[in-house]
Amino acid sequence: MAKDFTAEELAQRALDVNIVKETDLRSIWGELGTHNVECEQLKQLLVRRGLLTNFQIERLLQGFRTGFIYGKYKVLYLVGAGTFARVYRATHRETNELFALKVLRKSKSEIPDEAELFRREGELGMDLKHPNIVAIHEVYSKGKIHFLVMDFVEGHNLRDFFKVRGKFEPLEATRITADMVSGLNYAFQKGVTHRDLKMSNVILSSDGDAKLVDFGLAGLGGNDNEDIGDTGNQRA
């Protein structure tokens, strides 16, 4: 950080980017009994109350003014980052429902062809509604802002799961394969093939289901490795 921030400066930054409400801050100041407190004390209380995450606070203190809000969604944490996009854990600002937000990187959003492909791939994915496919609920593509709103799957991607386990028992491997084939067959019946099928694009949910993600995004080129599931080891 370039400088030490006061508690009031941190609170004002959070207000400026619209990730806390004035009523919540008034409650916080009331609990503290004064504005004249250490910044760290305010940070701890904001996190304990669930008003801000450590990820949000660090970005505020680093001077970021954007990337906190995308449409109706508020970013909570960075989950994964690939060549073309970043994936965030986010909540709907009105319902507090949890989603994964896949945001096209700024460097790619400035290239019209790639931004358009990202949009079209997202719209294609919205037609795929199956228990073994991570659902896409919304596609936003305006100006230089492009993002997909997806189910947030509590679990691990198959690549990370295998790194921890080292092997799969026969019955477990059969069940995972059956889930993948079920999702792939459904998509095929809809005229869609998965052009980037790999271990990092298979999410194992906490319920034990295998879910496919990133249909067709290989069309962007390169090798994206975003993790839609909450791996328990989020990369920030």
Indicate which residues carry an active-site annotation.
196
Give the C-alpha separation, 122 to 102, whole Å. Answer: 10
Classify each residue of 2-31 as buried b or exposed e, where b means 16 or more C-beta atoms within 10 Å of its C-beta. eeebebeebbebbeebebbeeebbeebbee
Residues 6+ apart with CB under 8 A from 68: 17, 18, 19, 56, 59, 74, 75
Give the C-alpha separation, 51 to 76, whole Å. Answer: 10
Q: In the structure encoding, which two tokens stand for residue 218, read together?
A: 């290989």
Which parts of the chain fold into alpha helices (H)?
Answer: 7-16, 22-32, 39-48, 54-61, 106-109, 112-126, 158-165, 170-189
